[in-house]
Amino acid sequence: MQENNRTSFLTPACIFTCIRYQRRMNTTDFTRCPDRSNTGSLKWQKYANTDILPMWVADMDFESAPEILQALRDRVEHGVFGYTVPYAEAARAATDYLRRVHELDVEDEMLVWLPGLVQGLNLVCRACGSPGDGVMVNTPVYPPFLSAPIFSDRTRIAVELVEKEGRYTFDREAMQAAVTPETKLFILCNPHNPVGRVFDREELSWLLDFCEEHDLWICSDEIHCDLILDEQVKHVPFLSLGERAAKRTIVFLSASKTYNLPGLACAYAVIPNPKIRKAFQKVCRGIITEVNCFGYVGMIAAYTHGEAWRQEMLTVLRQNLALLERTLKEKLPRVKMPKMEATYLAWLDFRDYGLETPAAFFESRGVGLSNGTDFGAPSGFLRLNFGCPTSVLEDALNRICMALAE
């Protein structure tokens, strides 16, 4: 009888639960780079069957948090994958997160869910003004900021950021000189990809005054806001500037960059002004698909249970940044990098080497970097993604050192 009892205690369901519990207790091995070949990975497919290390597109080589993996498994177990509309738990996860991490009060009704922010950038250009109107951006910048106005039949007004003592900021005079009566929208990247800045309250307040003076909408892409590396710096959400900002601002957010979930395609805009929200939703109609069911599940799990993973991941990124800074200082003093406050994307200035085609040069030496010209920068700048195990970064930096020693 006793024996029987013991047998029934070890049912398959119970064993499954134990394994699930162990997995929940598991932490991510940030020293391991999962094999991503044959997974359709944009990052790895580019250099499939070569010895080139992919250090380009903004996607990290870390496995997702165990809590996210478990939530996705549970959703698969449910077994029905019908059309999915935004649901209360998704909005609650996002608004709770914004309140907890960024001290920002956002109402559910202000949220517009999107499958991605590249779509968002194109939609906001179409929602604002009319064909021919101006959209101002600062360069260098994430390439879709440059293409979205053009794809949307708008006039792109690109104004360079200015570098002061290794720190990029707005060129206020140049922006005042470039703005036109037809300019209707300014697109901000904060924290900034690729120069790694977290703009401070004074800079953002100036920008708000500028946009108010010229009656511009502001689209503030804050996708990198949870990737602050400099512990002395805090992200300033554009909406924290108050009512004046809320009246003209569209904020873009997503858990995808921080928790490495871009393939799940879930992002959102926060649009407090109902008129702007309506205009934005109008251009989405019939074109933008609903976010898929796994996208919501990943985002909810990340925002609700991902904080410990995020902190561990940030520790690894900070170690990687320290390694990069040390290598530049000790071995590559001719390569310049601005002070990195956020993101895992380093903006490197190789101009001193006079390389004719820098990206191709490093590819031929086994390192795949993003070409700075795609970001609207002069030739000689390259962007390096260090969202990877430290050993992979070490390998890439050794290859770069060897290439430049030739």
**Given the rule CB under 6 A, which residues bind ligand PLP?**
58, 116-118, 142, 189, 193, 221, 223, 254, 256, 262, 267
- Closer by beta carbon to ligand PLP, 208 or else 269: 269
The pair of three-digit structure tokens given for residue 32, joined into one six-digit string: 């391991």
- Closer by beta carbon to ligand PLP, 113 or else 142: 142
- Closer by beta carbon to ligand PLP, 61 or else 366: 61
Q: Tokens 């502001």 label which residue?
A: 218
Q: Tokens 């991605």 label which residue?
A: 116
* Whole-angstrom distance, CA of residue 76 vs CA of residue 139: 42
- Closer by beta carbon to ligand PLP, 70 or else 260: 260
For 216, 340, 391, the CA distances from 30, given in Å and listed in that order, are 43, 21, 10
Q: How many residues does the chain have?
A: 406
- Of the candidates 319, 365, 406, 279, which has an alpha carbon nearest to the alpha carbon of residue 52? 365
For 184, 185, 277, the CA distances from 126, given in Å and listed in that order, are 11, 10, 13
For 122, 127, 142, 156, 176, the CA distances from 150, given in Å and listed in that order, are 9, 14, 14, 7, 22
- Of the candidates 397, 343, 313, which has an alpha carbon nearest to the alpha carbon of residue 58? 343
- Closer by beta carbon to ligand PLP, 61 or else 221: 221
- Closer by beta carbon to ligand PLP, 337 or else 404: 337
Task: Tell me the torsion sign for CA atoms 320, 363, 328, 391.
Answer: positive
Task: Report the nearest approach of ligand PLP to the CB of residue 116 (Å).
Answer: 3
Task: Report the nearest approach of ligand PLP to the CB of residue 360 (Å).
Answer: 22
- Closer by beta carbon to ligand PLP, 58 or else 321: 58
Task: Report the nearest approach of ligand PLP to the CB of residue 266 (Å).
Answer: 8
Task: Report the nearest approach of ligand PLP to the CB of residue 263 (Å).
Answer: 9
Count of CB atoms situated within 10 Å of the CB of 163:
14
Task: Report the nearest approach of ligand PLP to the CB of residue 262 (Å).
Answer: 4
Q: Tokens 């800079």 label which residue?
A: 203
The pair of three-digit structure tokens given for residue 290, joined into one six-digit string: 């609903």
Identify whether the C-beta of residue 53 lies closer than 8 Å to the C-beta of residue 399.
yes
Task: Report the nearest approach of ligand PLP to the CB of residue 267 (Å).
Answer: 4
Task: Report the nearest approach of ligand PLP to the CB of residue 256 (Å).
Answer: 5
Task: Report the nearest approach of ligand PLP to the CB of residue 273 (Å).
Answer: 21
- Of the candidates 239, 238, 252, which has an alpha carbon nearest to the alpha carbon of residue 119? 252
- Closer by beta carbon to ligand PLP, 61 or else 399: 61
Residue nearest to ligand PLP according to CB distances in the complex? 116
- Of the candidates 355, 94, 350, which has an alpha carbon nearest to the alpha carbon of residue 222? 94
